[in-house]
Chain A
Amino acid sequence: METMLEFLPLVLSGVSLTISLALTSVTIAVLCGICGAAMKLSNSSILQVIGGLYTTLVRGVPDLVLMLLVFFGGQILINAIGEKTGLWTYIEISSFWAGTCSIGFIFGAYMTETFRGAFLAVHKGQIEAAKALGMMPRRYLVRIVWPQIVPHALPNFTNNWLVLMKTTALVSIIGLQDVVYNANQAGRTSQEPLTFLLLTFFIFLGLTLLSDIGLRKLGRIYAVK
């Protein structure tokens, strides 16, 4: 118990990093998802192919492989481009951004399917009616389509968020000091690995429970009637 209190600040700082990491990645994922869904739903066949490739690639390659590729490869690639074009000299990708961007990119593909499905669930007649009333695409997308996408997308969004939060644990492998990394450190130093790993286990379980309850409540408010 004493050792637990001694290392508690370290573990808690990891928790705050995990949460900010998850929130940043989910924002990126939603943006990627909206772009992906827009591509898949567009009339241009090139964009459809790109959107299709995006989701197939992510479904095919494990998250950790993509993350390592972004973390180690992205750095080299960006600097090689900078050298060739002479636009920038040296950019270092921090592990935080490598982690959030790769997680965001990966979950963007799942969000793509979520948003695409939700968009298709919106009744066609509504869009036609909006057009008939003379609304421009931007206006009817914001006023008519988006408010209806939210309730349709929420259940899937909840699932994606729960999986995303667990995936953030992988960033400890690229050296980010999240809750898993810090708990591992604490466990090694104190020679009590199980204590701290179990603590991590229950922290993640708590985060899952909280978001599960919260998002379910939100889902009930926005439920399709």
Chain B
Amino acid sequence: MSGTRAAPLELGLFHALFVALAEEMGSVLQRTALSPNIVERRDHSCAVYDRAGRTIAMGDHMPVHLGSMPLSVAAVRSALRLGPGDVAVVNDPDAGGTHLPDLTLVQGVYLEGDDEPAFHLADRAHHADVGGRTGGSMGPATNLWEEGVVLPPVRLLAGGRNVAPTWRHVLSGVRTPAEREGDLAAQLAALRTGERRLRSLVARYGRTKLEAMSEELLAYAARGVRAMLRDVPDGSWQFADILDDDGVRDETIEIRVRVTLRGESARFDFGGTTGPSAGPLNANPAIVRSAILYAIRALAPHDLPANDGLLDPIEIRVPPGSILDPGPGHAVAGGNVETSQRVVDAILGALAQALPDRVPAASQGTMNNLALTGAGADGRPFTYYETVAGGAGAGPGTRGASGIHTHMTNSRNTPLEALERALPLRAQRYGYRTGSGGAGRWPGGDGLVREIEALAPIEGTLLADRRKRGPWGLAGGENGRVGVDRIERAGGVVEKLPSKGSFSLRPGDKLVIESPGGGGWGGEE
């Protein structure tokens, strides 16, 4: 596959060209979308794939999308024969989706004389609502159909024209159809940009060259991972971490992993992990792939290209029937945002035994997902979704950062001025939760406190974790403090909230989210 003499000299060039293409797509998507999740919080990703649907390059957007989007592309390719001008939409977790609000658009790029696409393009964006029982489509549910509209791979565009039934189906199943339409238009604009750039690359370098360099880039990423694995000690380490509960059954969920490093290869075996969740914490192998890729890229000594070659030296075993591969129909809203974080924690917990001088203590390990719905000042319904950052784990030689998103997400907060303008809410407090980071020679970062007052009746759902056991410390460092959530009623009564569940706010009630601190590293001197 590799080994042509020119390849080392041209890898950097073609890597830059493909990444630039994905970034241009991302810039169009972000600037033209309407949903605050996309424009303010940047919860979206764009990527280019080869003929076989393997990722060649992806813009640095959301880590959780890197391992999962190619499975959506694969699902589209096996379900549909994408002709020229066709664009498919998909969000089914059984088709490489992560959770339902993430709508993925996939298209093939046909080159002259071909009867199948020579490349594929895809973009994924987190929409603010896709229907279901609770606004924001992130609430507690016990099956997939309660979470919103489920889209197996279907055509959104055929031959460049809208497929009316698909649009009707998507838009009639959601609470805020105009906003969805705007966001999908932005996703389509990003695909058009990507296609234009890809065609100009073909015109400049020729398809043979582009296709050959795509192969070279996959091999290059694989070499990067092998080089990294060569430099870590051989051995086999096990670690288990837990999720508090799934919001339905009051039982902890264990994510168990055995990491085996041997020479230039690695094996991640999740045998022993708890079975399917009755609540919304079910993940899928696509998410597990993403978590492993994240850990590998974070450990690599320099930036590795984000493509499918990274997984070449890696073997993954996810037991069917576990919460990480539960089969169809299970509720999944929290698999992407919560379980994915715990999978990273488990992986890093195992790797910390192999590399004690590099791997940090656990970070907050949750995204503190908050979805709110109600009627705005103009009487129109709104749905609003955001995540709350927390403390990062301390490492050997570094304090954990406070109030920052870690691992599988990097989505930004909503400015308070934007929040108060759009919704009947008033922010009372947004600040560090002092003392929540685990003590240690290097202390963990502090979590955040986000306190908002309702000015009108609001229905909300919270999906959070690390409310029962704090993020672990390492080498004698203490655990970070657990998160705490409550409603301070207008009358003075304080109600503690479960980490996963729905609630109602009346005018004057205050919702307080306190996110977990990061674990400390090393005993205090």
A binds B: no
Which A positions have Cβ atoms within 8 angstroms of B? none
